[in-house]
Structure 1
Amino acid sequence: MTTRRNLFKGVLAGAAIAPLPLLAGTQANPPAVTGTPCPAPAAPRWRAGIEGQRRADLGDGRYLNPIVAGDRPDPTVLKDGDDYYMTFSSFRDVPGIVVWHSTDLVNWTPLGPALRQPLGDVWAMDLCRHGDRYYIYLPANPGDRGWRIFVIWTDDIRGGRWSDPVDLGIDGCIDPGHVVGEDGRRYLFVNGIRKVRLTDDGLATDGELEPAYAPWRYPQEWITENFAPEGPKLFWREGWLYLVTAVGGTAGPVTGHMVIAARSRSVHGPWEHCPHNPLVRTRTIDEPWWSRGHATLVQGPRDDWWMVYHGYEHGYRTLGRQVLLEPVEWTADGWFRAGGGDLSQPLRKPQPASTPQDGEALSDDFSRDRLGTQWCLFQPDAGGLARIRRADGTLSLVGAGSSPADSAPLLCTVGDRSYEIEVTVDVPAGGEGGLLLFYNHKAFVGLGFTPEAVKNFQYAEEHPWARVPRPPGAGPVRVRLGNDAHVLTWRYSFDGGRSWQLHPTRMEVSGIHHNVFGGFLSLRPGLYSCGRAPVRFADFRYRAI
């Protein structure tokens, strides 16, 4: 035991003085989608933040989308005085529903998770304030009777504990949107587009679900995934109630997803279609952002208006749906248009005088708890968080399952096209663990380590013929993953980072995304542990290229 502990410290010491090298070669253009050939857009010039991560704020009064890189789908934004809060779909992540904060709509910081227990899939939600209380209305599928709407609440959005989920009994529905009607009553709109009245405390329904709005129909010959009216978001302005909706399907063809709007003098209608529909839509596969939709309109810090929505990056569906910000122009007749134009170009910031942020470091020495703000478990059981233990600068992960295919890996979201990751892995007798790029249990790649061998996982299965024996008596291993525009290179070191062994197999992962595997997820770095004994991880390093 003493020998192993000293070896582990030696690996950490060696890794601490070995900087991450640049990836060999240059970034390739992202691949085009199947169909009509098209060139990838020229690489935009984002500002490099901490660890080289791309940052939206260019530091000169302009920004370049995305405002939050990586998989942050279905954004919902709340303006609360001079502050903005945002959260996203969290799917099967635990902890989930991470709340982010900003004062300028461009620089965002994660505050912490609002949901700490498994609730099955958790999709597009609505973050709102009513009186002195904050609410998140969320659809979830715990598995017992399918999709339905829950609500959680807190009196302190900056650090208070959120309530346990309250089941509203709205079965078979997703994508809630909260609004107070002209009658002073609270209502929840859902996909369809339907509505139901809530009680005054917002914690129960007070009536039946009923049709609310027949959405604007695009021409039948347009290439979309399906009609799918969803994501209703509502707000009042100058006596009009505006309803912003997504239609066309959130993935599938890149031209499918879109944003439409309607307005009424009453929460009960009648509704008038916006003459500028669709307000946002990807029209060709040459554009830098695909499948754009699911928008929230919000008033900016200078009393102008902005639209926050998501989209897939051209050639990088693996990164998931990222958060885009576009200015809104109000017309004399009380309607609005999207005013961003070419989103491959910088735009004026909502608050030009605000100070750019360098972002949050992904490198982690495991000295503090970053569950929720960085790390999450994927689809754990009810006691899953108890499997994680931190001590002496290491993270121990108690095994689950028999391989990555049935484990609950510890994942983090990244937003860069190319990057390098290093981590030290200490596998005791009877254990197995390693470093993955993980989409779901049907789609992952990576290296796993046992005391005897290095395992090679390609596309959700191990290839036994590709196993590499570990040196006899070898202790902890330092693993390095290089992702160069979807091409993966693996190296590992058994001597504290002084010498590195190139793994003989490279992998190409551009096809691991929703249009192939479903689930609306992204490809994320992850640590896994299975077997009888906990695996220890240390000195997780990240650097964007």
Structure 2
Amino acid sequence: MNRRLAVQAALAGASLPAVAAPRFGNGVEGQRKADLGNGTYINPIVPGDHADPTILKDGADYYMTFSSFQSYPGAVIWHSQDLVNWTPITAALTQPIGTVWAMDLIKHQGRYYLYIPVLQDAGTGIYVTHADDIRGPWSAPIDLKVPGCIDPGHVVGEDGKRYLFVNGGRRIRLKDDGLATDGALEANAWKPWQYPKDWVVEMFAPEGPKLFRRGEWFYLISAVGGTAGPPTSHMVTVARSASVHGPWEDAPNNPLVRTQSIEEPWWSRGHASVVEGPSGDPGDWWMVYHGYENGMRTLGRQALLEPVEWTKDGWLRAKGGTLDRPLPKPRGGKPSKAGFALSDDFSSGKLGLQWAFHAPGPDEAKRLRFEHKSLVIRGKGKALPDSSPLTCATGDRSYEVTVDLEISGDGHGGLALFYEERGHVGIGFSTTQLLTYGYGQEHGWMRQNIATRRVLIRLVNRENVVTWHYSHDSGTTWTQHPWQMEVSGLHHNVFGGFVSLRPALFSAGAGEVRARNFTYRGL
């Protein structure tokens, strides 16, 4: 089964106008920051490509991770104590196992578990990795051997048994250690809520079950409507049951969240996890989900935080409206560090958490070595598309990237904006030529004969309009590349893949590229 068909099969499961830019604060290097410093915050809480959030409250600490797709190291875990300011602490996945979708991060009897849906050439399945310390080391991933399933949601039933609920209304019981299944996959374990037939969505796609227990009820949060497509596609729904075995009752106010209009600042809002707030107040609850920023699908689905309240009859109600304005921060949380620098002078001798290979092989890390405050990348493939570029996710609408590159051998390398193999732009240098990538291909007619050993490349992306410059005299003089590029179409609705357009370093052919002083600045 090819990947596109596998995506459609997995989503099917067992069933089948512009606004002003949001206000935001200035963070590291001008990067977006949610905390406005006056007791309020503005979404997103984690900007850029951070889809399918799964959140864990562990005492005073919160941990969250997101789908990492074909990027490795992957399953980066973020930490916060106030739900607004987040910083990454580790990557739970280092060896490729496939395309990683919506995970579930949980803690059970003192051990952390990460349940991981994976798309491989043979279709979809679910893995698990575990750790005694959230910062690792994490175990090697274990295949649970449940083909055709995605989006696991872990719960411990009133019977003390552990279960994974998955897309399409199905579930499977786990053994007590959570590392193997215990029985067959069950259909019709829950019935996804059905929206009115005339709503404009992408597809039914019942997915993303997340479960928790509060008082006498189990609550099941799930998504329907498709994760992309029209701005009004995605949504958050709620059901509850007195037993993990059902029957499940749909909330009378479903959907809890849905984008109603193209005029709203966030599109395709959905795929939520619900968590208690830091104050300890029984009514202090919050919801984290994802959405596309209006007109900026190139940034991918970003992590959004919204307050929720409990009604007298035990249902949830969303309180954030369209998220078009600042909201009061959660009460009681300790101030947390926000974000992290994307710039890298490569002096640490290891790959920073901002970096990930696209679609790497099992030994991809062997292409890298660190020397004298530089990163050397051995060439791979023939050109940018098949070079497994080293990408860096960003969440800013406008930004500037500069990098100092040294080219050696019979190959070429450079700086790109990379969505996937068919969707990218960039410029590169061999020792003799300048090469230009646009519309997902290298344009031989634009090659220029330029003798190059060392070059500075600067990329400026202003609201999806891209300008390139390069310098051969350490930045004293700059030459503007003759092709300015508009890249707003490089996103999921065009190419699939669910990801974002990212700055990327690449090294192709039989040579090496030495990178120094990668500098990122939000504009």
Task: Report the TM-score when normalising by structure 1.
Answer: 0.91
1:331-342 aligned within 5 A: 331-342=311-322
Q: Which amino acid aligns with 1:162?
A: W
The alpha carbon displacement at 1:346 in A equals 0.2
Q: Which residue of 2 aligns with 1:456?
A: 436
Q: CA deviation at 1:353?
A: 6.6
**Equivalent in the alignment of 2:393:** 413
Mapped partners of 1:50, 1:81: distance in 2: 28
Q: Does 1:106 align with 2:84?
A: yes
Assess, with a 3 A threshold, how the Cα gap between structure 1 residues 70 and 371 changes in structure 2: closer, same or farther: same
User: How far does residue 153 in structure 1 lie from its aligned partner after superposition?
Assistant: 0.2
The amino acid across from 1:437 in the alignment is L
SS in structure 2 of the partner of residue 192 of structure 1: helix
Question: Please, which of 502, 510, 515 is the counterpart of residue 537 of structure 1?
Answer: 515
1:63 aligns with 2:41: yes
Are residue 248 (structure 1) and residue 225 (structure 2) matched? yes
Distance 1:282 1:342 in 2: 7
Q: Residues 325 and 209 of structure 1: is their aligned pair in 2 closer, same or farther, counting only changes over 3 Å?
A: same
Partner residue in 1 for 2:178: 202
Aligned equivalents of 1:328 and 1:358: distance in 2?
A: 23
Alignment of 1:257-336 (within 5 A): 257-303=234-280, 304-336=284-316
Structure 2 residue 150 is the aligned partner of structure 1 residue 174 = yes
1:216 alignment partner, one of 171, 187, 193: 193
How far 1:466 moved relative to its partner?
Answer: 1.3
Report the residue type matching 2:142 in the other structure: V
Query: Which one-letter code corresponds to 2:377 in the other structure?
Result: L
SS at match of 1:310: strand
2:448 aligned to which of 468, 474, 486? 468
Structure 1 contact 121–142 (Cα < 8 Å) conserved: yes
Q: Which AA in structure 1 matches 2:83?
A: L
Residues 187 and 197 in structure 1, CA contact (< 8 A), matched pair in contact too: yes
SS of structure 1 residue aligned to 2:385: helix
Structure 1: segments with no counterpart, 5+ residues: 1-37
Q: Which of 336, 342, 350 is the aligned partner of 1:362? A: 342
Distance 1:372 1:357 in 2: 17
Checking the alignment, whether the CA contact within 8 Å between 2:92 and 2:136 is kept in structure 1 is no
Relative distance call for 1:369 and 1:107 in structure 2 (3 A) is farther
Shift of 1:380: 1.1
Structure 1 letter corresponding to 2:215: E
1:120 Cα deviation from its structure 2 partner: 1.2
Equivalent position amino acid for 2:140 in 1: D
SS at match of 2:493: helix
Residue 344 (structure 1) shift: 1.4
* 1:112 and 1:372 in contact (8 A); partners too: no
Comparing 477-486 and 366-375, the one that deviates more: 366-375
Give 1:544 deviation, angstroms.
0.6
Is the Cα–Cα contact under 8 Å of residues 409 and 512 in structure 2 kept in the other structure? no
Q: Cα distance, 1:387 vs. partner?
A: 0.6
CA distance in 2, matches of 1:119, 1:205: 19
1:153: which partner in 2? 130
Does 1:431 find its partner at 2:411? yes
CA displacement, residues 319-371 of structure 1 (integer Å, 9 cap, x when unaligned):
00000000001100000111111311000001367436452111100011563
Is 1:132 aligned to residue 110 of structure 2? Answer: yes
Amino acid at match of 1:420: E
Correspondence for 1:515: 493
Deviations 1:474-531 (A, max 9, x none): 4300000010111111100000110001111100000000000111010000000011
Instruction: State the aligned residue count.
Output: 503
> What SS is found at the alignment partner of 1:430?
strand
Q: 1:16-55 CA deviation, whole Å, 9 max, x = no partner?
A: xxxxxxxxxxxxxxxxxxxxxx2x2222321101110110
Deviation for aligned residue 1:141: 2.2
CA distance in 2, matches of 1:92, 1:45: 31
Please give the alpha-carbon distance, in whole angstroms, between the structure 2 residues aligned to 1:229 and 1:202.
Answer: 24
Q: 1:123 is aligned with what amino acid? A: W
* Pairwise CA RMSD: 1.1
Q: Tell me the CA shift for residue 372 of structure 1.
A: 5.9
Deviation at 1:460, TM superposition (A): 1.2
1:373 positional shift: 1.4
- Is contact 1:423–1:541 with CA below 8 Å preserved after alignment? yes
Task: Quote how far apart the aligned CAs of 1:453 are.
Answer: 1.0
CA contact (8 A) 1:57 1:356 kept: no
Q: Is residue 118 of structure 1 aligned with residue 96 of structure 2?
A: yes
Moved over 4 A (4+): none
CA positional deviation for 1:463:
1.0
CA distance in structure 2 between the aligned counterparts of 1:241 and 1:391, rounded to whole angstroms: 54
Amino acid at match of 1:429: G
User: 1:160, CA displacement in angstroms?
Assistant: 2.0
- Secondary structure in structure 2 of the residue aligned to 1:377: strand
**8 A contact 1:439–1:513 mirrored in 2:** yes
CA deviations 1:191-228 (Å, max 9, x no partner) are: 01111111000011111111211111110000011111
CA–CA distance in structure 1, aligned partners of residues 357 and 386 of structure 2: 13
Is the 1:94–1:372 contact (alpha carbons within 8 Å) kept by the matching residues of 2? no
Which residue of structure 2 lines up, in the alignment, with residue 16 of structure 1? none
Secondary structure in 2 matching 1:385: helix
Q: Does 1:499 align with 2:477?
A: yes
| 2:213 alignment counterpart | 236
Aligned 8 A contact 1:404 1:528 in 2: yes
Letter in 2 for 1:280: V
Tell me, in whole angstroms, the C-alpha distance in 1 between the residues paired with 2:322 and 2:231: 16
Which residue type is aligned with residue 166 of structure 1? I
